Amino acid sequence: MDISVIVPLYNEAESLPKLHEWIERVMNENGYSYEVIFVNDGSTDESWKVIEELKSKSGQQMRRGMVRGICFRRNYGKSAALYCGFKAAEGEVVITMDADLQDSPDEIPALYKMITEEGYDLVSGWKQKRLDNALTKNLPSKLYNATARCVTGLKLHDMNCGLKAYRKEVVKNIEVFGEMHRYIPFLAKNAGFTKIGEKVVQHRKREFGSSKFGINRFVNGYLDLMTLWFLNKFGKQPMHLFGLIGSLMFFIGFIAVCVVAGTKLYALHHGVHAMLIGTNPYFHISILMMVLGCMLFLAGFLGELIIRNSPSRNDYLISKEI
């Protein structure tokens, strides 16, 4: 099979027939064998009924493509939907797109060629000309993407674009969880898939329904980015971070305590009045630094113990073997 199109959705019943018809037309014009996997993320409208109807119509006609559906019992989020879609996909190239008709299926042939002919592992869409509200979406999106570029080292202008193309090997070797769908290119890079490209794609206005995302996604996105950065940098060696910082804090606190004690002894020896050690704020700050240093060191030590006993401690992706 040439292409798997994965469409995660939540309450998008009105847009699904038009989206499927559009995908089908593009695929038939280009002669691709394909499957469309609709992942219903706990919708409360008629989305699943529409998917069943599309599946029934697809099965009644002789076509090069088929419709598949996955239905969650409740809303788990886009990452869970993509994870299940990736797991079910059988096409050599996997395309993801949103169900709200803001992503154009006409982009699929060019994305497919970038994977199959130009050798990219992953191609991310870039909605260079956005039709969203400039204040509530465009500006926060620019700030978010600028931060993501600095932290991840990936020069992508729109990392969270729903329209992406993947080599099959990529989606079978990365795990999308939590709300990490925003950083799939970073996950792929960490897994060793380094040929990651970008393509300018058309952005269309939403035709039906309303957006499911609020401003809180930018705060959550920043926190998730910091989590991924830490896991990539110190996930296998937590002691390298916590142990180092803890040791430095303990050492500085210990030196500070020695200075405070030495100053008191010097004053007593020369008969000079000096503040009591117990009332000296520098003494308490020094002790606090020593305690925090010990706690950070122990956190790193416990992290190492957990890693040593993790069943995935020796999970490595093997590219080739002879």
Indicate the average pLDDT of the chain: 86
Are residues 196 and 55 both part of a single domain?
Answer: yes
Q: Classify residue 48: in a domain, yes or no.
A: yes
Last residue within a domain, chosen from 215, 234, 253? 234
Using CB atoms within 10 Å of the CB of residue 139, give its burial: 0 to 12 exposed, 13 to 18 middle, 19+ buried.
exposed
Q: Classify residue 317: in a domain, yes or no.
A: no
Q: Classify residue 147: in a domain, yes or no.
A: yes
Distance CA 144, CA 104 (A): 23
Distance CA 260, CA 267 (A): 11
Q: Phi and psi (nearest 5°) for 123?
A: -125, 125
Lowest mean pLDDT among 33-47, 54-68, 200-214, 291-305: 200-214
pLDDT band at 317 (very low <50, low <70, confident <90, very high): low
Identify the residue with better confidence: 212 or 305.
305
Q: Classify residue 319: in a domain, yes or no.
A: no
Q: According to the model, what pLDDT value does residue 213 have? A: 59
Last residue within a domain, chosen from 219, 234, 249? 234
Are residues 278 and 160 both part of a single domain?
Answer: no
Range of the domain at 215: 3-234
Last residue within a domain, chosen from 234, 259, 288? 234
Asked whether the predicted pLDDT for residue 62 surpasses 60, the reply is: no
pLDDT band at 18 (very low <50, low <70, confident <90, very high): very high
Q: Mean per-residue pLDDT for 238-253?
A: 90
Are residues 174 and 299 both part of a single domain?
Answer: no
pTM above 0.95, yes or no: no
Q: Classify residue 303: in a domain, yes or no.
A: yes
- Give the list of residues 6+ apart from residue 181 with CB closer than 8 angstroms, or none: 78, 79, 82
Are residues 250 and 228 both part of a single domain?
Answer: no
Q: Mean per-residue pLDDT for 210-219?
A: 64
Tell me how many domains the chain contains.
2
3-state helix, strand, coil in the chain (%, to 5): 50, 15, 35
Q: Mean per-residue pLDDT for 32-36?
A: 95
- Percentage of the chain surpassing pLDDT 70? 89
Q: According to the model, what pLDDT value does residue 229 have? A: 79
Are residues 162 and 270 both part of a single domain?
Answer: no
Are residues 295 and 184 both part of a single domain?
Answer: no
